[in-house]
């Protein structure tokens, strides 16, 4: 018998009931549960759950889901391949097991229970007084047990996680022993982990694909995945000689069967056209053997992350590749995440491009918004939420955008390891009009090109303001802007059409004002710090004693000082 704690058994006239449906289960062997009460209609089919992601590195738990915007709810289907005495599934701010919102299935060895619970700051579990994970059904199948449940985006329950656009950190835990009560579950002792997904996928109608569409697979050539937790693998591919201009109109992942939990994300970059040739390479991206020239392959053609679906271009635009002025050389980069350190796994994953010779009306373009890669923008150590903002100003869009404007249809947010939130807003006539893309639970370990729910029109004179929030609580010295992984970035790569000459529209603080800040710090500081011009900006930041005064003055400097604006064409030449 399976009981829903905290509610009386109730008949089930509709699945929209606020109460969690109490279900009766027959117990077979230790813990095989089979649904006896038939719910109205049947259990939804697999095709009803278009999105799918493995939760754990072994693939024992597989989550599928669908999103209903009219109901403002997510329906989950969780496949448990090797059920022992239950499991925890839920969401938290950044994937912690403390202060988490959980659905728990547990067994005391005789009865099985399902309920909506939450964990406090110490990780102690409590039954939620308001049951918002609604159990809809369970069924036994040869591959394991399927649990179906539903959760509204917003429940108005202070103990619940608010499901919103952007990244969601899902957590799971497997119960390996019977437990006599929910409170007896010790979170620190269970085998668990986290998985990041974009739960609220946009409800996009798939454009019609042309009859002359062809495909090309850019895949790793039967690579042996290194037996270490993290590997970035680089492989060079090339287009056929004399390949004419085509439009990429969609792409999708090709993941080797059995490696679904190891292939974390993949990107295909096109190399710079100014070099006639690029060396062949197949190996780790951080290897000493990697030719330096591969660093000139940075123009993103496609990017996929675990849990993402196929990416479609809008029907009036395609991404140009091939033809004169375009490099034949492509670089595939795959991030393997192998925490269980499997040895000898072979992989031929990659990305399948769908392209057409019948060019669409517009070329799609990619524009960089946010902050310039420069050390003048820095984050003091020990900050839990330090904010930096980069501007694409009205003067730049006035000069560079066509009178009819551009349409942004997708966006990829990017920071390094300290990034926690990223948002870009569109401002017109000094007022914020629209959010272009926002991720309040952003993770640098989960970067995908996301199709926007609705296109954003940007006209000459509009401003695009990108704000990043950073956490440096684990750092002892300042973090400066730059290309290194321990330096920081704040970027939104927006995908738009029609393509313009504007490739980069970013800002940074005016360096002259930063020097005034260094002088001020020097005047107020007891020990003399050398703030002389011959010392580099990062060195000056590293030598600042980070008291409250120096932190607050830097914050306000970034808020009020004039900015240096970069309004660049593709050849890194600035618009006048």
Positions marked active-site: 232, 414
- 502's enclosing H/E stretch is strand 502-509
Quick check: 469 and 386 in contact, CB under 8 A? Answer: yes
> What's the N-to-C CA distance of the chain in angstroms?
74
3-state secondary structure (DSSP) of residue 514: helix
Torsion of CA 397, 398, 399, 400, to 10 degrees: 40
Q: Which of 306, 395, 300 is nearest to 54 (CA)?
A: 306
3-state secondary structure (DSSP) of residue 556: helix
Write the CA distances from 318 to 130, 210, 369, integer angstroms. Answer: 48, 12, 21
- 522's enclosing H/E stretch is helix 511-524
Enter the tokens of residue 462: 């509009």
> Which DSSP state fits 23?
-
Enter the tokens of residue 461: 């004179």
Q: Are strands 329-337 and 263-270 parallel, antiparallel or unpaired?
A: antiparallel
What is the residue-wise DSSP string for 437-465? Answer: EEETT--TT----EEEEEEEEE-TT-EEE
Evaluate the CA torsion angle 451, 455, 460, 464 in order and state its sign. Answer: negative
Beta carbons within 8 Å of 466's beta carbon, 6+ residues apart? 369, 370, 371, 389, 390, 391, 392, 422, 423, 424, 490, 491, 492
Q: Which of 112, 55, 59 is nearest to 89 (CA)?
A: 55
Quick check: 327 and 270 in contact, CB under 8 A? Answer: yes
Length of the chain: 576
- Orientation of helix 548-560 relative to helix 511-524, angle to 10°: 160
């Amino acid at each position: 018998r399976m009981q829903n704690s905290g509610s009386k058994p109730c008949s089930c006239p509709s699945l929209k009931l606020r109460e969690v449906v109490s279900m009766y289960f027959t117990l077979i062997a230790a813990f095989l549960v089979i649904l006896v009460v038939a719910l109205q209609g049947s259990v939804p089919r697999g095709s009803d759950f278009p999105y799918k992601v493995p939760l754990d590195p072994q693939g024992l738990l597989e989550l599928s889901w669908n999103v209903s915007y009219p109901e403002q709810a997510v329906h989950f289907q969780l496949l448990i391949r090797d059920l022992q005495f239950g499991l925890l599934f839920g969401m938290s701010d950044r994937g912690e097991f403390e202060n988490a919102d959980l659905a728990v299935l547990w067994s005391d060895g005789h009865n099985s229970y399902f309920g909506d619970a939450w964990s406090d700051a110490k990780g102690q579990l409590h039954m939620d007084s308001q049951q918002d994970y609604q159990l809809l059904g369970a069924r036994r199948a040869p591959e394991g047990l399927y649990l179906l449940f539903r959760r509204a985006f917003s429940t108005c329950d202070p103990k619940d996680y608010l499901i919103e656009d952007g990244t969601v950190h899902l957590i799971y835990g497997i119960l390996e022993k019977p437990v006599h009560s929910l409170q007896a579950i010790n979170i620190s002792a269970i085998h668990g982990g986290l998985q990041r997904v974009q739960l609220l996928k946009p409800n996009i109608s798939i454009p019609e694909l042309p009859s002359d569409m062809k495909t090309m697979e850019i895949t790793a050539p039967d690579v042996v995945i290194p037996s270490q937790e993290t590997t970035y693998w680089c492989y060079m591919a090339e287009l056929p000689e004399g390949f004419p201009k085509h439009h990429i109109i969609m792409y999708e992942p090709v993941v080797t069967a059995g490696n679904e939990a190891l292939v974390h994300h993949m990107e295909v970059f096109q190399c710079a056209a100014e070099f006639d040739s690029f060396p062949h390479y197949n190996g780790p991206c951080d290897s000493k053997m990697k030719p330096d020239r591969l660093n000139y392959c940075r123009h993103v053609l496609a990017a996929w992350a675990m849990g993402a679906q196929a990416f479609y271009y809008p029907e009036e635009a395609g991404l140009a590749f091939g033809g004169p002025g375009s490099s034949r050389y492509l670089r595939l980069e795959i991030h393997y995440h192998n925490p269980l350190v499997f040895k000898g796994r072979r992989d031929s994953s990659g990305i399948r491009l769908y392209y057409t010779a019948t060019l669409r009306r517009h070329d799609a373009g990619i524009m960089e918004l946010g902050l310039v890669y420069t050390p003048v923008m820095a984050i003091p150590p020990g900050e839990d939420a330090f904010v930096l903002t980069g501007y694409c100003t009205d003067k730049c869009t006035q000069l560079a955008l066509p009178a009819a404007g551009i349409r942004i249809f997708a966006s990829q947010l990017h920071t390094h390891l300290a990034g926690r939130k990223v948002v870009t807003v569109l401002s017109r006539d000094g007022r914020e009009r629209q959010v272009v893309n926002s991720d309040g639970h952003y993770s640098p370990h989960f970067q995908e090109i996301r199709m926007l729910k609705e296109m954003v029109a940007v006209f000459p004179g509009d401003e695009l303001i990108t704000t990043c929030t950073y956490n440096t609580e684990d750092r002892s010295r300042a973090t400066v802007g730059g290309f290194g992984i321990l330096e920081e970035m704040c970027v939104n790569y927006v995908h738009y059409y029609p393509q313009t000459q504007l490739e980069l529209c970013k800002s940074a603080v005016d360096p002259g004002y930063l020097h005034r800040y260094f002088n001020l710090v020097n005047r107020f500081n007891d020990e003399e710090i050398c703030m002389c011009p011959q010392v580099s900006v990062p060195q000056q930041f590293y030598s600042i004693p980070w008291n409250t005064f120096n932190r607050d003055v830097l914050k306000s400097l970034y808020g009020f000082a004039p900015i240096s604006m970069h309004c660049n064409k593709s050849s890194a030449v600035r618009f006048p």
